[in-house]
Amino acid sequence: MKLFLKAKGSNKSAPISKGCCKNVNVFNAVKKKKIQDLAAVYNINSSNLENTIQQYNGFASASSSCNLGKSAEDIVELNAPYYIMDISIDSRLSPLPTLTLGGLLLNEETGNVKNIKGEESTVYMLLEDQLLVFVRIYMSQDYQ
């Protein structure tokens, strides 16, 4: 099940899993009204954090791509309340939430896994349909 979140005053939405929302909102996120208070949670330099947010918001106001790699259509101004969450490898509640895709060379018509030389084997990739669902939601504009 998908949940579409929209930034306040924006017509832009991004798909995010319900479980992820629950994790962010309940388990490991800290909510603060001031950037200085947000920075204090993890002992971050508040001036640097404030400058970074102001710079990011400048890109949002100008509707231009930012130096962090986001395209103009994906940038939405950040306003209070702010949230901070530990997603480091050491985090007890949400350790390094990552997903790896790829790694298998595949004949997409048959599902046969190919070896490094590109030769087909007798090994088949399973769950291809589930992967395509994931790709449609998170990764590829071709499927949207």
φ/ψ (deg, to 5) at 23: -60, -45
- On whether the CB atoms of residues 78 and 70 are closer than 8 A, the answer is no
Flag whether pLDDT at 111 surpasses 80.
no
Q: Is residue 61 part of a domain?
A: yes
Do 69 and 122 lie in one domain? The reply is no
- 73 and 6 housed in the same domain: yes
Same-domain status, 18 and 57: yes
Q: Quickly state the pLDDT bin for 117 (edges 50, 70, 90).
A: confident
Structure tokens at 56: 């990011």
User: What pairing do the DSSP bridges indicate for beta strands 29-32 and 2-6?
Assistant: unpaired
- pLDDT attached to residue 51: 94
Question: In the prediction, which pLDDT does 40 show?
Answer: 96
CA separation for the pair 31, 38 (Å, rounded): 7
Whether 57 maps to a domain, the answer reads: yes
Residues 49 and 114 in one domain: no
Please check whether residues 123 and 63 belong to one and the same domain.
Answer: no
Residue range of the domain that includes 133 = 105-139
Q: What is the pLDDT of residue 139?
A: 43
- Please tell me whether residues 36 and 81 are part of one structural domain: yes
The residue among 133 and 108 whose pLDDT is bigger is 108
What residues form DSSP beta bridges with 5? 14
How many beta carbons lie within 10 A of that of residue 137, not counting itself? 15
* Percentage of the chain modeled with pLDDT above 90: 24
Considering 13-22, 27-36, 51-60, 100-109, the range whose residues carry the highest mean pLDDT is: 51-60
The pLDDT value given to residue 126 = 62
Same domain membership, residue 63 and residue 115: no
Domain co-membership, 35 together with 80:
yes
Same domain, 76 and 112: no
pLDDT at 27 over 50: yes
List Cβ neighbours of 127 (8 Å cut-off, separation of 6 or more): none
Residue 121 scores a pLDDT above 70: yes
Q: Is residue 117 part of a domain?
A: yes
Query: What average pLDDT score do residues 94-115 get?
Result: 71
